[in-house]
Amino acid sequence: MTQLSGKTLFITGASRGIGKAIALRAARDGANVVIAAKTAAPDPRLPGTIHSAAAEIEAAGGRALPVVVDVRDEAAIQAAVAQAVAHFGAIDILINNASAISLTPTADTPLKRYDLMMDINVRGTFACVQACLPHLRRAANPHILTLSPPPEIRPDWFAPYPAYATSKYAMSLLTLGFAEELRADGIAANALWPRTLITTSALRLAAPAEAAGRRPDIMADAAHCILTQPSRAPGASGRFHLDEAVLREHGVTDFDVYAATPGLPPELDLFVTG
C-alpha cells in the first residue's frame, strides 16, 4: 500500500498552483482529495477550476470531490466538511493552502483588501481547523499543514507590505497554537513555506515582473514527506518547514529538476534569509 492510499485530504484552494500540486502528489498514492475552492467557472486571469483539478486528480490515480468553498463563509466550510465525510467517510489531513495576497504598502492597501487577507488567510485557516477537528481526532495519522512562513519577527520583512506579512505570520502563530493544543490528540500541526519563489499564476498576477523560481512540485514533494510521517512521533508537530530543507532531510540533492526556467537560479521567496 502506498503511503497516502485511502487517506482523505481536505485542501483549500486546490483548484490551481501549490494546492493542486499537493493534491496531485497525493493522488499518485491513491488518496482521496476534497478540492475546497471558489473557482467553479474558468477565470481568464487564473487558469483552473475545481472541476478541471478533479479530472487531473482522478487521472493521476486518486479520487476527487470538487466542492465550491469560500473559506470566509463558515456555513460553506461546515457543509463542505460534512459532504467530504459523507462521500469519503473521513478526513485525515487538512491543508490550509487558500490565501489572498497584496504586496502593497500601507497607503496603497485598501481596507477591503486588508479585510480579504485577514478573512481568508487567518480566519479561514482557523475556521477550517475548527470544522475538521472532530474528524481529525478520529483519524489514525492526522495532520494539519498550513502554508505559512517561519515566524521570525524582522522589521524589514514587515515594512514593504505590513498587511500581507501580518496575515501570513498570524497563520504561523495559529499553527504554533494548534500544535501544542492538539498534541494530546495525536494531531500534528506544521507549517510549510518555499525557500525560493514558486511560479504560479497567482504569483504572476500579484507580482507581474519576471522572476526566476521553481515549479509547485517541490512544495508538493515536501508536503508529502511531512504528511507521511507518524503524527505522534517526537518532533513531528509544531515545526516550520522550508521545502528545500525537508527534501534534503529525505535525501534529495538535485533541485534543478524543479526549476521553472532551466538554467536560471531561483530567487529567494519572501520571509527567507538564505
Name the residues annotated as catalytic: 164
* 257 residue type, one letter: V
* 188-193 sheet: strands from edge to edge: 63-68, 32-37, 8-12, 93-96, 143-146, 188-193, 240-242
The 10 Å Cβ neighbour count of residue 115 is 14
The contacts of residue 123 (CB under 8 Å, 6+ apart) are: 71, 72
Instruction: Give the residues across from 198 on adjacent strands.
Output: 214
First CA to last CA distance, the chain = 37
Distance in angstroms (rounded) separating the CA atoms of residues 67 and 74: 14
Sequence length of the chain is 274
> In this structure, is the dihedral angle defined by the CA atoms of residues 77, 19, 210 and 103, taken in order, positive or negative?
positive
